[in-house]
Amino acid sequence: MLKETRKDKISSILEEKKDLTINELKKYFNVSLSTIHRDLDVLEREGRIKKVHGGVLLNKVEDIETQNEIRLKTNISLKKEIAKKALEYVEESDCIFIDNSTTCYYFAKELAASGYKKVIVVTNSNLIPSLLINNKYIKVVSTGGRFLKELF
């Protein structure tokens, strides 16, 4: 069974039972303890489960910090450094696609504070348009449609 399939199955079993032991998972999937622990480590980092001694619990939705929120708080200085370097490659009248990554979030912040007058940003992020809302010279198009600043 593929790792992703196994992780999804663990999550769905937990939605029903709310808790499982490590040995139950080992027997159910017929894999080693280390394989189960690796899967659970990933699920815990994703905020989907909570590992406890000898077992695992389903994480409550209200306790989950999204993976994106977690990543926004890690390696901030490095991401800002990358963002400043990337800004050096921007020219007036560029059309830039900025994806939903957290490094691009910091790039968008740098771009918003820059002096560019004719830049178009296309993004699939739900956070980036709000970073650029106060820069009247940067046009923003999200994959859901054009971001109309005059409505805000």
Nearest to 138 by CA among 99, 108, 106: 108
Per CATH, 3-63 and 69-151 having the same topology is answered: no
The band of 146, judged by pLDDT with boundaries at 50, 70 and 90, is low
The more confident residue out of 81 and 43 is 81
DSSP letter, residue 91: -
* The CATH number of the domain covering residues in 69-151: 3.40.50.1360
pTM of the model: 0.55
Sign, CA dihedral 7-13-16-22, equals negative
Non-local (6+) Cβ contacts of 30 within 8 A are none
Cα 84 from Cα 67, distance rounded (Å):
24
Query: What pLDDT is recorded for position 150?
Result: 61
pLDDT in tens, 90-138: 999 999 999 999 999 999 999 999 989 999 999 999 889 999 988 989 9
Instruction: Give percent above pLDDT 70 in the chain.
Output: 90
CATH class of 3-63: mainly alpha
39 CA to centre of own chain:
19
Write down the domain spans for the chain. 3-63, 69-151
